[in-house]
Amino acid sequence: MKAFLIFTLLFAQAVAAEQVSSLMSVLEMGERQSPRLKTEEHREQAAAERVRVEKSSYMPELDAAAIASTGDPGSFALLGVDNNISSSQRIGAGGALILKQDIWDFGRTEGNVHEAKAQREIAHKQIAVTRQDVDRELLHTYIDCAYLKEQVADSREIAQLTHLISRETDRFVRSGQRSVIERYLVDAEAQAADTRIAEFSDRVTVIEKRLGIEAGAPSALHCGDLKSIDTELRTIEMDHGATPLLEIEKKRVAYAEARLDRAKADHMPQIVALATGGYFDNVQTRDRMNYAAGVGVTLPLFEGFRVDASVQSEKAGVQAAKASLSSLEQLLNATNSKYDEQTSSLNVRLKSLGTEYKIAKQALTLARKRYSSLQGTMVDLRESIKNMTRVTESLAASNRELFLARGEKALLNGSRNKE
């Protein structure tokens, strides 16, 4: 029976451990389930279809038309087709096939295709930018969750110690070796630790629910501790990729250049071929069956400066896009410098706090021993407890800030960019 209970306990602990979600698994789940990412993927699909739309201008256009009317002969352009069935030579019924083909438009269609491709590339890069935003939000929530769990664990250690001291003080008070005031003071410290445990535990429950919501999970997700995050961040930092913000800005430059090329094409002529064949009811003027074929050239001469103004506008757009790219490069360099400064400062602080923690632990141990041997005072003990609480809270807060800075910098510079 005893062995069965031990096995049951170990099994329960193993199940509980399995329920803890790692940072990497949460990021992957969030990327799979994110509605924002799915929205951007559909937008990319729409942009890809736009490329097909523009490429269709390379193909010939074939229309079929049929009409029946009565009354006096007259022009009838209701169908919008280039054939005798729309002219004044026709009355009664008529039908035709019309074939049109742009032989050479001197870059108009090619420019439209390049512009559509550039839009598709921007939509594709936007997926990576959105993924970066999703990962950053999940990173913040996960690290905040781990930080709160660390606070719960530290508060429990302080609470266990203060409750132990409270029992010792109670024994001293009953024997008359300590004042009853000291009992109230140590009880106050124990109550303060219990309050911190309750507060942080409640916040952990809430933030784990939020983590599940942000990751698209059906229920709350349980985060790991701060120590596990350090290892996972090293993996994320080694996952080098292209910087999404920089990549999308480069595509915007390419899009602006494609628009400029398209605007320049409007200065050029256009060569079009047309072939049509059909019949109409009016035998007195022409044969029922008729056909026509020809090649036409149009050359823009003057359109009120529209083309020239359009070209100048697109040139300005190209210069603006390039300036925006340079500005972003400068901003990224400055942001990376800030992250480096922050991580360097936090590492120095953590090193100092590590030394402070050892001293605080030694001071607390010594104060407790002196108090238990009736040599120390409650003032020394309370100050030691408060100092230990301050140091542990500072350690957890500094680790939180360091992990956030490291994670944000890695994501900013293209980590987890799957291209």
**3-state DSSP assignment of residue 66:** strand
In DSSP terms, 290 is beta-bridged to 278
Tell me how many degrees the CA angle 352-388-192 measures, rounded to the nearest 5: 145
- Can you give the pLDDT at residue 173? 65
Q: In 282-309, which positions are buried (b, 16+ CB within 10 angstroms) versus exposed (e)? A: beeeeeeebeeeeeeeeeeeeeeeebee
What pLDDT, on a 0 to 100 scale, did the predictor assign at position 35?
95
Residues 372 and 367: their CA atoms lie apart, in Å, by: 9
pLDDT value for 400? 95
pLDDT for the residue numbered 14: 44
Residue 1, domain member (yes or no): no
Instruction: Give the per-residue pLDDT at 178.
Output: 63
Distance, in Å, from the CA atom of 46 to the CA atom of 129, rounded to the nearest integer, reads: 18
Q: Helix, strand or coil for residue 418? A: coil
- Decide if 378 is inside a domain: yes
Q: Looking at the domain assignment, is residue 84 inside a domain?
A: yes
Mean pLDDT by 10 residues, the chain (419 residues): 42 53 93 94 94 89 79 59 66 80 83 92 94 95 94 88 75 65 74 87 94 92 90 88 92 93 85 80 65 82 80 92 95 95 95 93 86 74 85 94 95 84
On whether residue 281 sits in a domain, the answer given is yes
Dihedral sign (CA 392, 395, 397, 403)? negative
- DSSP annotation of 87 reads S
- CB atoms < 10 A from the CB of 87, how many? 18
Total structural domains in the chain?
1
DSSP for residue 385: H
Q: Among residues 120, 98, 121, 102, which one has the least CA distance to residue 110?
A: 102
The predicted model scores a pTM of 0.82
Residue 115 lies inside a defined structural domain of this protein: yes
Phi and psi at residue 174, to the nearest 5°: -65, -30
pLDDT value of residue 37: 94
Whole-number pLDDT of residue 5: 42
Q: The tokens of 128 are what?
A: 């990576």
Beta strands in 75-193 (DSSP E): 92-104
9 domain residue, yes or no: no
Domain that holds residue 258: 19-412
Nearby residues of 279 by Cβ (< 8 Å), 6 or more positions away: 94, 95, 96, 288, 289, 290
264 domain residue, yes or no = yes
Distance between CA atoms of 37 and 7, rounded to whole angstroms?
A: 44
Dihedral sign for Cα atoms in the order 76, 81, 87, 91: negative
Residue 168 lies in a domain: yes
SS3 readout for 287-321: CCEEEEEEEEEECCCCCCCHHHHHHHHHHHHHHHH
pLDDT reported for residue 33: 93
- Which pLDDT score, from 0 to 100, does residue 164 have? 78
- For the domain that residue 218 is a member of, what is the CATH number? 1.20.1600.10
